[in-house]
Structure 1
Amino acid sequence: MSLADEVAAAHAGHPNPAALVGEFRRTSVLVPVVNDSLMSAELTGIRWLYAFSDEQELARFAVSRGAGPATELPYVRAVGARLLDVVIPAIEGPAGVVLDSGSEQGMVFPPVSGIVPDSVAVDLAEPDEAGDRPGVPAAGGAA
């Protein structure tokens, strides 16, 4: 199945996580660029890179953020594997990818083992002196 098919299956309640991640890794996505940096946002201590499945999804996102329909948001093309295996480890602190942000078919690829390299997976990180794992909310904390 294609990435779009795997995302649709997950949203329909029939996820195949390994196939979903595999298709993301093989698929070329669009990553918006702002001020010579890949567009991202931070939420709950995790840096999320934005990626889009096609120009229509990217344009919809730009309009939702207040850009006019004729305004183009510059982007680069990257294969999902390159984002997960090269870009994510180069970011200081935990980072993941959100695909088609704000879309009904949006999907997140969090910084956990099986998605990102083990060296940057938050579920494999060594606890700090307080017993907390970097980038993971403490037990009882807001997620």
Structure 2
Amino acid sequence: MEQAGTALAGRIAERRAGVGDPRALVGEMRRSVLLVPLADGGLWSARSGGVRWVCAFTDEAALARFALLHAPGGRPVEYAELLGARIVDEVVPSLGEPAGLAVDIATEDGSMFFPPVVGIVPDGAAVDAGEGVRA
């Protein structure tokens, strides 16, 4: 049986290669259990381009690559296991600012960003909700 994180990593690789269905990628992200590092009493995130990105990883190897870059002194990184749907449906809207999900950011040529747009996050948290665009 294929693990959800592995399936998501495969869908990400397809999209980065210019193939695969974007809706299938979003669906796989929603079904996947992701590893989200904890920092300062919350989920680790970064701001870029006017968006707050909740950072998550498809497996422990991807999280370990991140930890090598961001954990002071090589300390272990504590993390939460969250369903992708919970991140984009509950966590992102609770942040009160444009926010999305960044997956596997420390993986060379393997990262994928799920921006705060209709079809990925709830309409109330989507930056394009007033434009009538559907993903």
TM over 0.5: yes
- Residue in 1 that maps onto 2:120: 115
Distance 1:28 1:66, change over 3 A: closer
Aligned match for 2:53, one of 48, 54, 61: 48
d(CA) in 2 for partners of 1:124 and 1:66?
36
d(CA) in 1 for partners of 2:73 and 2:12?
28
Percent of paired sites with the same residue: 46
Higher helix share: 2
Structure 1 consecutive aligned stretches of length 4 or more whose deviation exceeds 3 Å: 66-69
Report Cα offsets for 1:4-51 as digits up to 9, x if no partner: 221111111103110000000000000000121100011121110000
**CA deviation after TM superposition for structure 1 residue 66, in Å:** 5.6
Q: Do structure 1's residue 94 and structure 2's residue 76 form an aligned pair?
A: no
Normalising by structure 1, we get a TM-score of: 0.81
Which runs of 5 or more residues in structure 2 are unaligned? none
- Residue in 2 that maps onto 1:81: 85
Normalising by structure 2, we get a TM-score of: 0.86
Larger radius of gyration: 1
Amino acid at match of 1:7: I
SS in 1 for 2:129: coil
Instruction: Provide the alpha-carbon RMSD of the alignment.
Output: 1.6
How many positions carry a matched residue from both structures?
125
Which runs of 5 or more residues in structure 1 are unaligned? 127-143
